[in-house]
Structure 1
């Protein structure tokens, strides 16, 4: 009984000394690292696992050296084995926390609150996925090392190796979907096909990538719903990525109006609207007649914005303003079905009226810039070169 008390006292004393030393180191690092992000991260993430690992190690050493008189006793082997298992788990926790500290310190150098953060989001996506993968590997290795401390497990190692082929095939078939998602997640991280905060359209829903893991992707839809998709979806199914190269995008607003609509006046009204709106980024403002069948014409307004959210509001603003403009200033251009009876030379608003003076029409060479998508402005010329090619575009101009 006296020997047991000595062992317990030694273990408690070792634990107290370890806790005291860890606390002293923690306070010193926190004081010295007030201006160091690495030291701050160490004190926040690694203090608790370091405390547990140091305490378990101290207790294990105290029990080992205070029970040398009972080297062959079963209770000593059981206690030491439990402490070894605890030490392996605490050490794995400490290593994982150190990796998290290193990754957080590295990510702190890349700011995401900047206009052009495409490269930063790519790095953050890769680091987050690698963090999850490394932690999973550490856990698997720790469990494997803990199992290898049992003599029975080491004894059946040869049998496990001989049947590894059969078990490997069975495991591969059982985990085919899971492994496919894991490899798809790694492919997404390093292929730059999709990144955190990318604006995408999937399953007919518009949203942004909120979370990207090894097995699934969370898409935050515009109305704050969450769409959960397996990572293999993005490697096997086509989807739209609106911020693949840059955040600036184009959007349309279409109108079905009567043939009597003054297109140039509507075009000028669109120009006045976007120039007075802070949502427009100044790149593209085009109005074109894209269809003229079925008794009406289809007018399409093409505008640009700095990001997808601003584009949505700008498109809604264009629709509201031009609908009100047609209703208030060009009521004869509202969509309608014609059925004229009587004299066609009358002066009623819905009857055709011959103009009193000739209307000046723009020549083909005088088409304004806001009537072209592929040409006219600098942005239109650049877009034409992308879809046609520089040499062909130059030949067409000459």
Structure 2
């Protein structure tokens, strides 16, 4: 009884001494590292990462030594020894993982993403994040394997499993095919530079930024604060758009369907004034072109550039709004319209040429054409405009298409009107 009491008393005293020693040692080491941290940033990161793993490891080792010193009979404390061994392996794996995370933190701090040209930094950060997750998983798996092999029964089972490793690997590969595919796809994405953290992508018809790349999934932050989670295999098996693959600068288009009486020259001059008033435009390119002119409308396309995708979206909205206001104020005749000219059915039935009984409230395209030329690009002689011969040639291609109304009352009300849809505008500049 006295020997047991002395043993337990010695164990308690040893524990108290060990605990005090651990805190003294950790305090001294912390003071030294903090003194270094005043001149080196990495020392502060080291303290943050390894403070508690080191304290825990020293405490567990001290307690284990105390048990061995207080109870020399190993048969009585064999189970306690096994528990301490498992705890030491776990805490050691924790310390190793934190040490590796400290090294990756140093690497990540070297690459800043809050600068204009951050393509290399984003690629390095993506690769480091994938590597650190992969290494932590490997450390955890190895620690669990070592802990399991401390049991005699599991050690015997492990020997038999290693003897049939070929069959086990095939079965495991078939069972975890999707998991392994995503894991390998995640590693491939990290080192193939297909996508990086903070890249702007278009996936599943959604616009967003790459927020996180793990070993099995990719998180995309959408423009409306939603999160789209996709498996890594999506980006290795399906096409997607990466708007920041080589640079964040982009070119965007703003299109208008306008009337034939629009003046592209004046519109181009106003575009210059609009872009000069905003900081959204980066000054690389500005283009206004008539890309299509068929049917009843003229398609005008404006190309502008910006430093990144969000700025480009705002710039396109700004240019579109300013141009719409300008057209409403200065060129209302350029707004897209559908022209209807009613014809006299009785005159057509009698074989007479239809006569216009009502003057149009708007100037015709033929009378407006010279004004547009003067305000825009100047007088030009073409195949159908500019000379008397061209005017006569144009008349052959611009005959009205009459629509006869059978209702007598409607005929009297809309007497001498004709129907022409989209043809008057075409007379001004071409067929």
With structure 2 as the length reference, what TM-score do the two structures score?
Answer: 0.79
Q: Are the counterparts in 2 of residues 285 and 302 from structure 1 also a CA contact under 8 Å?
A: yes
> 1:243-263: CA deviations, max 9, x gaps?
111111011111111111111
In 1, Cα distance between the equivalents of 2:190 and 2:148? Answer: 33
State the partner residue of 1:95.
Answer: 96
Shift of 1:345: 11
Pairing 1:47–2:59 present: no
In 2, Cα distance between the equivalents of 1:44 and 1:363? Answer: 79
Matches within 5 A, 1:1-398: 1-2=4-5, 3-68=7-72, 70-73=73-76, 76-341=77-342, 343=356, 348-354=361-367, 359=374, 360-361=378-379
SS of the residue 1:220 aligns to? strand
The one of the two structures with greater contact order (alpha-carbon pairs below 8 A, sep at least 6) is 2
Q: Are the counterparts in 1 of residues 208 and 220 from structure 2 also a CA contact under 8 Å?
A: yes
Shift of 1:20: 2.2
Shift of 1:94: 0.7
Worse-matched range after superposition: 304-313 or 287-296: 287-296
In 1, Cα distance between the equivalents of 2:275 and 2:191? Answer: 39
- Cα RMSD of the aligned pairs, angstroms, is 2.1
**What is the aligned residue count?**
361
SS of the residue 1:283 aligns to? coil
In 1, Cα distance between the equivalents of 2:225 and 2:192? Answer: 28
Shift of 1:111: 1.6
Shift of 1:347: 6.9
Shift of 1:127: 0.6
Q: Are the counterparts in 1 of residues 370 and 379 from structure 2 also a CA contact under 8 Å?
A: no
Shift of 1:11: 3.1
In 1, Cα distance between the equivalents of 2:19 and 2:34? Answer: 22
Shift of 1:277: 1.2
Worse-matched range after superposition: 123-132 or 5-14: 5-14
Q: Say if 1:356 and 1:64 are closer, same or farther in 2 by CA, change over 3 A.
A: closer
In 2, Cα distance between the equivalents of 1:338 and 1:170? Answer: 74
Q: Are the counterparts in 2 of residues 209 and 220 from structure 1 also a CA contact under 8 Å?
A: yes
Q: Are the counterparts in 1 of residues 8 and 70 from structure 2 also a CA contact under 8 Å?
A: no
State the partner residue of 1:384.
Answer: none
In 1, Cα distance between the equivalents of 2:263 and 2:37? Answer: 70
Q: Are the counterparts in 2 of residues 33 and 39 from structure 1 also a CA contact under 8 Å?
A: yes
In 2, Cα distance between the equivalents of 1:154 and 1:237? Answer: 44
In 2, Cα distance between the equivalents of 1:326 and 1:343? Answer: 30
Q: Say if 1:96 and 1:110 are closer, same or farther in 2 by CA, change over 3 A.
A: same
Gaps of 5+ in 1: 365-398
In 1, Cα distance between the equivalents of 2:254 and 2:370? Answer: 34
> 1:9-48: CA deviations, max 9, x gaps?
3234223322321222122211232221121011111101
Larger radius of gyration: 2
Q: Are the counterparts in 1 of residues 256 and 299 from structure 2 also a CA contact under 8 Å?
A: yes
Shift of 1:218: 0.9
> 1:334-382: CA deviations, max 9, x gaps?
1111113564995742523436687424799xxxxxxxxxxxxxxxxxx
SS of the residue 2:290 aligns to? strand
> 1:81-134: CA deviations, max 9, x gaps?
111111111111111111111111222122211110100111111111111011
Shift of 1:5: 3.3
